[in-house]
Structure 1
Amino acid sequence: MSEMMEASYGQLSTMDSGEFAGWRYWQGDPFETRSGPFYYRREDDGSYVSAFRAEPRHMNGGGFMHGGCMMTFADFALFAIATDVLNGDHAVTLNLSGDFLGPIASGALVEARGEVTRGGGKTIFVRGLVTGDGQPALSFTGIIRRLARR
């Protein structure tokens, strides 16, 4: 069971080419690879930004990004935002909530930025904002639970 659990986390990798060259991503995470792929990097100010390029497969029947895709990306961003607090530990999402603020069109650069509002222990609180080409699309809050080291 331990080997199966360890394998399911994927491996942190760095893109070596394309639009997101130099950005990090989880290689081998089946859901994130299929739904994204999503990337993140550290900014000059020490914060983290997550990003991906919106594609037609991310859209809903109305032609804008599906709300489930935005929430999936927000869930990814929770962990990127909390990278330093997590310090390499594995964790799970306990809660994720969001308020939809505007649409994201196909082709848009989708980004998420935020902050840890409380961290350091087993429970980490995060808030953030997802934008599409710089326009607010989703405000989110989440709670992450650090897992015990094995």
Structure 2
Amino acid sequence: MHDLARSAFDNRPGIHIAADGEFAGWRTWLRDSFESQTGPFWHRMEDDGSIRCAFRVEKKHLNGSGNVHGGCFMTFADYCLFAFAAPILQGPAVTVSFSSEFLDAARQGELVEATGEVTRAGASLIFLRGLLKSGERPLFSFSGTIKRVRRRGEPNGQ
């Protein structure tokens, strides 16, 4: 299964792989202009098949108090849902449910990383959960459900 997941992960459309810098070898999607403007957010598959996501906190990610804006955490966590599901997604999907808890603040310069998992995957719905951390410090927990969607004109079951 790991080889199939790796192949599905590596062959997702719209992927950009960083060639240099802190995130060399990490992937991001270029197809979502909101995430591209908010991020950059990155993801990679670890040797054990798990997915790790990350971003480096910049000034643009901060609220008026100098902490990462809650909306930035939520946007990043939504990005993570799709990264965690990437090895099993076979087409487009949308978020249908999202829940989160703010646990601690992050500041400019910190590396925010996310780990998570698919807790259940059905024919149309995929349930996931994750945790954002800076080092060992938990920042934000989240869970969500994404729904696989058909492309227009695509027959049922394909």
CA apart distance, 1:12: 1.1
Question: Secondary structure of the equivalent of 1:85?
Answer: coil
Match for 1:26: what amino acid?
Answer: W
CA apart distance, 1:96: 0.9
Match for 1:65: what amino acid?
Answer: V
What's 1:135 paired with? 137
Cα RMSD (Å): 1.3
What's 2:88 paired with? 85
Alignment coverage as a number of residue pairs: 140
Unmatched tracts of structure 2, length 5 or more: 1-12
Question: Secondary structure of the equivalent of 1:17?
Answer: coil
Match for 1:64: what amino acid?
Answer: N
What's 2:37 paired with? 34
Unmatched tracts of structure 1, length 5 or more: 1-9
Structure 1 residue runs of 4 or more that deviate by more than 3 Å after TM superposition: none
Q: Cα deviations across residues 104-131 of structure 1 (Å, max 9, x unaligned)?
A: 1110101111011110411000000011
TM-score (norm 1): 0.89
What's 1:118 paired with? 120
User: Is 1:95 aligned to residue 92 of structure 2?
Assistant: no
What's 1:64 paired with? 67
Question: Secondary structure of the equivalent of 2:130?
Answer: strand
2 CA distance for matches of 1:84 and 1:62? 37
1 CA distance for matches of 2:67 and 2:35? 20
Q: Cα deviations across residues 7-57 of structure 1 (Å, max 9, x unaligned)?
A: xxx821111111001001112421111000111000111000011100111
